[in-house]
């Protein structure tokens, strides 16, 4: 049996380590992953970014999970007692141990957690989540199935946990949280609640690189939700629109331009029913702004960097009311990827700085942010204090 290999370095270094541990040549891995030896060589030495689609192909060929490929450089930075408390709270969904909380205070705590998630303040969120999950679980159980609001609150708390553990690099825990969300949604008896849970479930497929599986989840969810904008309320529109945006990401990463365009078109039509700023509801953000950001990301995944950079420049000249730091952080990271692919390293670095400014913890943790920065460091042969300082801040050796 192949011994487990620890990976805590950059993606290219991890790929080389895992490949050599199997005694494989670059040609063998490249052939299995369906990429050129030249591309693999550049990824390993740090001169080319490893895109999500390429990472999936390589991890599948090597028979290792994606997180192993990306490495887990921040595990040691996470307080182990807080992480264990979080695992325990998620595990005890049928056996909560805390006392019945005050409903008003609980709602305020849930709102705080959702705000911390939106602001990408992951360390603060981790500190409060274990106790909050237990308290929200107790409240939902005590109120029973007749209190839909109690269960929807628990769904929101699980949504915060899903984002947190995914960003920290614990996909196994993210999948468990997604299952807990679905469980809470069935108790809530809410079409919107179930759609929110399925959005998270599709996200778990996305993180695992199973894009077709994630698309199947989205299609089933949209069929059940069956939104009519003229009849249904804002919550249903936000849920349906967010599912379409999830599908845009999944389809574009599968290089399925037709399905990408189809879901983007549906999202745009739904966004027209939410005039003004984007709406944040149950940890889902939807509106014309977030739809545009997803379209930009799709152009990156579909290997159309010029279209993506053009959109980035247009968006930067536009006000985007209602978009939270987590969404703006994604936007700037995707812009950095686009500029790098288009050969504009200066603008790529500038976009990473904008990501750091608006969502610092996301910019430091996100695999694609780190991948772009890694390549910029590798390609820049001259001294660049600005780049060096950003790399050191992110924990990447210049």
CATH class of 1-71: mainly alpha
Separation of alpha carbons 218 and 194, rounded Å: 11
Q: Tell me the two tokens of residue 397.
A: 């050796």
| Residue-level pLDDT at 6 | 47
List Cβ neighbours of 237 (8 Å cut-off, separation of 6 or more).
227, 229, 270, 273, 274, 286
Give the CB-side neighbour count of residue 207, counting CA atoms within 13 A. 25
Separation of alpha carbons 159 and 77, rounded Å: 22
Is residue 22 classed exposed, middle or buried when 0-12, 13-18 and 19+ CB atoms within 10 A define those classes?
middle
Q: Where are the alpha helices (DSSP H) in 75-168?
A: 80-91, 103-118, 122-143, 148-168
Separation of alpha carbons 27 and 122, rounded Å: 40
Domain residue spans of the chain: 1-71, 309-398
Separation of alpha carbons 116 and 282, rounded Å: 13
Separation of alpha carbons 386 and 390, rounded Å: 6
Q: Residue 136's CB: how many other CB atoms inside 10 A? A: 29
List Cβ neighbours of 8 (8 Å cut-off, separation of 6 or more).
71, 72, 73
| Residue-level pLDDT at 144 | 85
Separation of alpha carbons 202 and 243, rounded Å: 9
| Backbone Cα Rg of the chain | 21
List Cβ neighbours of 265 (8 Å cut-off, separation of 6 or more).
none
Q: Residue 186's CB: how many other CB atoms inside 10 A? A: 14
Separation of alpha carbons 273 and 237, rounded Å: 8
List Cβ neighbours of 132 (8 Å cut-off, separation of 6 or more).
109, 110, 113, 157
CA distances from 48 to 54, 160, 175, 384 (A): 11, 33, 30, 19
Model pTM score = 0.91
H or E stretch covering 263? helix 257-271
| Residue-level pLDDT at 8 | 52
Q: Which residues does the chain have with pLDDT short of 50?
A: 1-6, 73
Q: Where are the beta strands (DSSP E) in the chain?
A: 279-281, 284-286
Q: Tell me the two tokens of residue 163.
A: 């984002």
Read off the DSSP letter of residue 99: P
| pLDDT tens per residue across span 153-164 | 999 999 999 999
Separation of alpha carbons 19 and 15, rounded Å: 6
Separation of alpha carbons 62 and 19, rounded Å: 7
Separation of alpha carbons 13 and 4, rounded Å: 16
């Amino acid at each position: 049996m192949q011994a487990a290999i620890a990976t805590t370095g950059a993606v290219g270094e991890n790929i080389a380590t895992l490949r050599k541990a199997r005694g494989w040549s670059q040609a063998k891995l490249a052939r299995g992953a369906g990429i050129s030896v030249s591309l693999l060589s550049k990824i390993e030495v740090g001169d080319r970014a490893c895109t999500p689609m390429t990472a999936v192909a390589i991890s599948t060929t090597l028979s290792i999970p994606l997180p192993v490929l990306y490495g887990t450089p921040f595990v040691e930075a996470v307080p182990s007692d807080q992480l264990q408390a979080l695992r325990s709270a998620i595990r005890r969904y049928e056996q909560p141990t805390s006392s019945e909380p005050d409903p008003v205070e609980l709602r305020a705590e849930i709102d705080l957690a959702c705000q911390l998630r939106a602001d990408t303040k992951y360390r603060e969120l981790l500190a409060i989540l274990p106790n909050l999950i237990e308290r929200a679980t107790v409240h939902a159980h005590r109120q029973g199935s007749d209190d839909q609001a109690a269960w929807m609150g628990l769904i929101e708390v699980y949504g915060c946990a899903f984002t947190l553990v995914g960003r920290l690099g614990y996909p196994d825990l993210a999948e468990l949280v997604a299952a807990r969300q679905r469980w809470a949604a069935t108790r809530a008896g809410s079409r919107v609640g179930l759609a929110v849970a399925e959005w998270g479930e599709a996200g778990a497929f996305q993180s695992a690189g199973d894009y077709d599986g994630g698309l199947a989840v989205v299609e089933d969810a949209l069929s059940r939700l069956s939104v009519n904008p003229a009849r249904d309320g804002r919550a249903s529109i936000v849920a349906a629109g967010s599912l379409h945006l999830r599908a845009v990401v999944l389809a574009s990463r599968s290089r399925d331009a037709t399905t990408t365009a189809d879901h983007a078109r549906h999202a745009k039509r739904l966004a027209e029913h939410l005039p003004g700023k984007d709406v944040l509801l149950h940890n889902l953000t939807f509106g014309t702004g977030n739809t545009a950001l997803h379209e930009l990301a799709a152009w990156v995944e579909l290997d159309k960097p010029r279209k993506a950079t053009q959109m980035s420049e247009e968006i930067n000249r536009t006000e985007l009311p209602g978009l939270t730091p987590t969404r703006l952080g994604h936007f700037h990271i995707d812009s950095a990827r686009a500029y790098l692919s288009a050969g504009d390293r200066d603008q790529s670095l500038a976009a990473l700085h904008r990501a750091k400014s608006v969502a610092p913890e996301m910019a430091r943790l996100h695999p694609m942010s780190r991948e772009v920065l890694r390549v910029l460091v590798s390609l820049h042969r001259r001294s660049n204090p600005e780049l060096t300082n950003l790399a050191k801040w992110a924990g990447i050796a210049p």
